Amino acid sequence: MPSEAALHQVRDQFPGLHENELIYLDNAATTQKPDVVLKAMDDFYKTSNANVHRGAHRLSDLATRAFEGARDKVQAFINAPAREEVLFTRGTTESMNLLAQSLGQHLLQPGDEILIDTWAHHACIVPWQQIAAKTGAKLVPIPLLNDGELDQSAYQSLLSEKTKVVSLTHISNALGKRAPIERMIPKAKAQGAYVVIDGAQAVAHEAVDVQALGCDFYAFSGHKCYGPTGIGVLWGKRALLEQMPPYQYGGEMIDTVSFEGTQFNTLPYKFEAGTPAIAEAIGLGRALEFIQELGIDRIAAHEAALMAKAKNELAKIGKLTLLAAKGSNHGALSFNVTGEHHQDIGILLDQEGIAVRCGHHCCQPLMQSLGLKGSCRVSFALYNTEEEVDAFVSALADIVEFLDD
C-alpha cells in the first residue's frame, strides 16, 4: 500500500469517510465508494443515458459500449477465458439462486449430495437447501476444526460419487478465514462434482484467477469491492452455461418469440433478462480498475498489517475472546466480550464514533457450531489506518473496563 501521505490521498477520494464523523470498520458488510466510481455512474446518466443493445441511436450505442466495456473489465480482473462467461447479476445472492435453480434443478436427483462449508453465508446455504428439498438431494455441511478452519480430513471423507455440487466460501465473512480452495477444488473435480465459489469477501483482498483455480463457477458482489450496490457477477465455464436453462424470462434474453415457442439468446444474455443495471455495471467496472490501479498486492499487504496490529492489541484486553484468531484472518475478525451481549458492545462503540458489525452475520449455522448467538466483527479496507485501529482498540478497552466496574 502507499506511504502514509499517499494513503491519506486515497482516503480523500472516499466522500463517505468525510461526510460522517466515524471510523468505518464494517467493510465486510459493504465498502465506501470512491469518487471515480460515483463520477462514472453520474457521467453515464448525464451523457449517455439510454437502454443498451436495442437502440439504433447514438445514445444507445454509447450506453452499450460502456456497459459491455464493464464486462470486459470484469473478465480481465478475474482472468476469465471469455467475456461471454461473465454474467451480470444483482449480487452474490442472485448468483447463487441462479445456480441452484438453473444448474441444481436440472442436475440433482434423489440421493445426490451437495457439500457446503460450515462458514457459508445464508445466501449460499438457503438456495441449495431449497433445491435439495425439491429434488430429493441432501445438503451436507463440511465441519470445522477447533481453530475455526475447515476440517480437510472430513471434507475428503465426505466426497463421494454422490457428490454433485461442492459450494465453498473463499473467505469467511464472519471469521475472516480463507479456505484452501486451491487444494479443495481438485479433490471435488476428481469426484466429478461441480465447484461453486462464493468470492464476495475475497475479490477486494486478493487477486482472483478463475482459470488458475479450476472452479466451475465464481460469484461476487460489487458493493463489497468499492462498487455500487445492486450489481454482481457470476462467472461460469462456457460449456456449462450453454447447457444450463435460463433462470429468468423476458426481454433481452430472447432471440425470437412466437406464441408457439421461444428461442433463447446466446451467452451471456441468456441469463440477463430485462433492462440491466447499466449504471451499476459501469460503476463496478470502474471500481475494479480502481483496485488494479492501487495494486491488489499492496492493498493486501496494508490490510494484513492492520489485522496483525489489531489482533496483537486486542489480545491484551481482558474478558475479550477473539474467534478463530489462530493463524491468518483476511479482512475480518470477530470477537466477544465475556458476559456481554454483542449488540450492546456494538452500540457502545458506535457512541464512540466507531462502526462495526454485530449479530450472526448471516451465518447462523456457523454460530450454532461455535455455540454462539452472534459476535462483533471488525473488518478492514484499503482506506483504514493504523490510527483508526488504535482508536478502536482504545475505545473497546475503555468499554470493557466500564462494564467491568
Question: Which residues are identified as catalytic?
Answer: 362
Closest CA to 123 of 198, 56, 52, 13: 198
Q: How far apart are CA 165 and CA 185, in angstroms?
A: 11
Three-class DSSP category at 28: coil
Which residues 6+ apart lie within 8 Å of 20 measured at CB? none
C-alpha distances out from residue 206 to 29, 119, 299, 300, Å: 17, 19, 8, 6
Strand residue runs (E) in 85-229 = 86-89, 113-117, 138-142, 163-169, 194-198, 217-221
Q: How far apart are CA 89 and CA 329, in angstroms?
A: 28
Q: Which helix H or strand E contains 404, and what residues bound it?
A: helix 386-404
Q: How does 45-78 read in b/e, with b if 16+ C-beta sit within 10 Å?
A: eeebebbbbeeeeeebebbbebbbebbebbbebb
Which residues 6+ apart lie within 8 Å of 142 measured at CB? 115, 116, 117, 118, 150, 151, 154, 155, 158
Please answer whether residues 320 and 335 qualify as being in contact, where contact means their C-beta atoms are separated by less than 8 angstroms. Answer: yes
Give the distance, in angstroms, between the CA of residue 267 and the centroid of all CA atoms in the same chain: 23
Place of cell 477520494: 13
C-alpha distances out from residue 325 to 24, 146, 152, 321, Å: 21, 11, 18, 9
Q: How far apart are CA 321 and CA 338, in angstroms?
A: 7
**Is the peptide bond between 268 and the residue preceding it cis, with omega within 30 degrees of 0?**
yes
Q: What angle do CA 302, 295, 10 make, to 5 degrees?
A: 65
Place of cell 453515464: 44
Place of cell 436427483: 109
